[in-house]
Amino acid sequence: MKGICILGATGSIGVSTLDVVARHPELYNVVALTANTNIEDLFQQCLVHHPEFVVVVDTDKALQMQEQISSSPVPDIKVLSGSDALEQVAILDNVDSVMAAIVGAAGLLPTLAAAKAGKNVLLANKEALVMSGAIFMQVIAESGAQLLPIDSEHNAIFQCMPHGYQSGMRASTARRILLTASGGPFREMPLEQLQHVTPAQAVAHPNWDMGKKISVDSATMMNKGLELIEACLLFNMPSEKIQVVIHPQSVIHSMVDYVDGTVLAQMGNPDMRIPIAHAMAWPDRFASGAEPLNIFDVQRLDFATPDLRRFPCLRLAYEAIDAGGIMPAVLNAANEIAVAAFLDGQIRFTGIPQVIERCLENFSADEADSLQTILRVDQQARDISNQIIQEING
């Protein structure tokens, strides 16, 4: 049996991962589960999956969790607290695979720790790779860790790459990546109406069930921008070789265009259990629990180029990866602050790209030469973004 640690167990990816694990109890053993504050769902997961460790980042919530565990049918589960404990459980000797599903920059350090420890890193946290870029990929190469992408698009690309492909390689026979995007809920909304979009509208994704932050990122297409940056790193491809394609049905999850004219596409229903099961079983396959794709129900597949006037966040992502250095980390930090401000009602939907662009203007493409540099720049970008939001409201 393989031991698995799930960073971000109560989020949508974590829940889907546990669903897949439950279908294969003879293959996977849950060693550790983590959450930030959601101890209600985490406790129920403990009752079902009996991990050895749980981590609750919030100290007060961790104390409450300890009380619940102590008087439960699973009193032997060890409860840890604090962000350092995330790294601790990610490198446990009996952990073979780490599902990196913590949303945002908070997932960087534990994911990097898992990579340094040579674990199978199932990467659902795109921000970790966007922030640390070449440093992350170098750690993967030096440690011998296996990096398996979980985002449906990157997992699709990985599946369409040549036999024996490893993340970080350049596939010489692949000349282009076609990165698909649903276009989110506002791909046809008149541009002048975008400024009136509410948080409730923005989190109502037409195809996928995701958390609030990722849903807003999908609506602005920053999610696709971050995936573009991630694809450049995962597949060692320049940005000009990666074409974002609007595909509203979310049936083709991405494609690889080869030098001989062949285009390979990975298709399936929009269910995250499919890429999760692929990564967990790799290089084999096992059942995910997802419904089989019925192409007769789909009937048609539509494709369009994205309008960068409608989706300025995508333009900013291209500019950030082309500039290189610290700029992707700045982009990510500014976006996290801007999205949080939008969800809190502090700025308009159209204010999200405005905050990000103004923040980027405060930085030059200095080399991202160390983890300390990246973390320092991340904090600076957050501080500047908060200042910009105050100015907007002032």
* H/E element, 352: helix 351-360
pLDDT single digits (tens) 215-253: 899 999 999 999 999 999 999 999 999 999 999 999 999
Which residue, of 149, 169, 191, is where some domain finishes? 149
pLDDT at position 127 is 80
- The answer to the question of residue 38 being in a domain is yes
Using alpha carbons, select from 119, 39, 48 the residue that is nearest to residue 81: 39
pLDDT at position 8 is 96
Which residue, of 104, 131, 149, is where some domain finishes? 149
3-state secondary structure of 45: helix
pLDDT at position 206 is 63
Q: Domain range holding 93?
A: 2-149
In the chain, what percentage of residues exceed pLDDT 90? 87
pLDDT at position 271 is 94
- The answer to the question of residue 372 being in a domain is yes
Q: Are 18 and 9 in contact (CB under 8 A)?
A: yes
pLDDT at position 203 is 86
Global pTM reads 0.92
* Domain CATH code at residue 69: 3.40.50.720
User: What is the count of structural domains for the chain?
Assistant: 2
- The answer to the question of residue 175 being in a domain is no
Q: Are 374 and 326 in contact (CB under 8 A)?
A: yes
Compute how many other C-beta atoms are within 10 angstroms of the C-beta atom of residue 36: 19
* Domain CATH code at residue 389: 1.10.1740.10
- The answer to the question of residue 356 being in a domain is yes
Report the Cα 55 to chain-centroid distance in Å: 20
Which residue, of 149, 176, 191, is where some domain finishes? 149
pLDDT at position 342 is 96
Distance of alpha carbon 309 from alpha carbon 384, whole angstroms: 25
- The answer to the question of residue 56 being in a domain is yes
- The answer to the question of residue 31 being in a domain is yes
Which residues of the chain fall short of a pLDDT of 70? 205-210, 394
- The answer to the question of residue 308 being in a domain is no
Task: Print burial letters for 152-162: b (CB count within 10 Å at least 16), e (below 16).
Answer: bbbbbbbbbbe
pLDDT at position 52 is 97
- The answer to the question of residue 226 being in a domain is no
